[in-house]
Structure 1
């Protein structure tokens, strides 16, 4: 498969956003079905196995624990099978980049600068990240 075909197939894949993360619909459905099947399967297995050697009043509790253990196990399997596909690109932050970001997020730059001056914790964090200088330059251009 050529690289253009790969890019086209990648674009044609359907993605949705859940809890702030973008995921493939197909992989989401597969992971949900696997999780539900293993959870219920673990519970039903416990209902069948535990009566043979556990107290009758503890069978439901043990079965529930087996179902939960299966859920945790399938969580690790799903995270291995469906690794993140995002690519993080770190650009150097500059005053020009910040203007674009403020415009994209529909933020008021002057309000953000005022809030930074009022909050010493935020100010210190921005200094440590090396971003505060860009805010100061932006403030100086007002």
Structure 2
């Protein structure tokens, strides 16, 4: 297996696809150049139109490879693992801090979170962790302000 453009592929299928794609596109280009050369007097114009057939050959070669080499990944839809999700949320908040609450998000984003069944997880995490952190931070700031006021 190889990693290509952030996807895992079978090396043999990749080589096969390159050979098939190259053969079909180059074959279409060469055949079109030869055929059009018989009907068009200007060889440069025939070659230009033949390039269009070469591009069509690329698409046809891609379709052939898509039929021959089926995807290897399996997409499994499953329920959200809340324990793992809480760990991910903790890591997000540790790395980026609180950027506002779920209530601050546009309705389109909240709707998407609801569809993915993630909105409740964010709300629970915010209720249990972020608000406690904000209270601790506010108490710290008030304490510091009080100490600075005494020094003045």
Common fold: TM-score over 0.5: yes
| 1:140 equivalent in structure 2 | 127
Q: How does 1:25-44 map to 2 (within 5 A)?
A: 25-44=11-30
Structure-1 separation of matches of 2:14 and 2:89: 32
Q: Which residue of 1 aligns with 2:74?
A: 87
How many pairs does the alignment contain?
Answer: 126
Say whether residues 1:58 and 2:41 are aligned partners: no
| Partner Cα distance (1:30, 1:80) in 2 | 13
- Distance across 1 between alignment mates of 2:55 and 2:6: 25
Unaligned runs of 5+ in 1: 1-14
When the two chains are superposed, the root-mean-square deviation of aligned CA atoms in Å is 2.5
**Alignment check: 8 A CA contact 2:29 2:54 kept:** yes
- Partner SS, residue 107 of structure 1: helix
TM-score, length-normalised on structure 1? 0.73
Change (3 A) 1:90 1:40: same
- What residue is the counterpart of 1:107 in the other structure? 92
Aligned counterpart, 1:45: 31
**Change beyond 3 A, Cα 1:112–1:55:** farther
Q: Are positions 1:130 and 2:117 aligned together?
A: yes
Alignment of 1:18 onto 2:18: no
- Which consecutive segments of 4 or more residues in structure 1 shift more than 4 A? 100-103
Query: Cα deviation per residue 1:70-109 (whole Å; 9 max; x = unaligned)?
Result: 1111111011111111111222114213135458xx5336
> Structure 2: where are the runs of 5+ without partners?
130-152
Contact residue 116 and residue 122 of structure 1 kept, 8 A: no
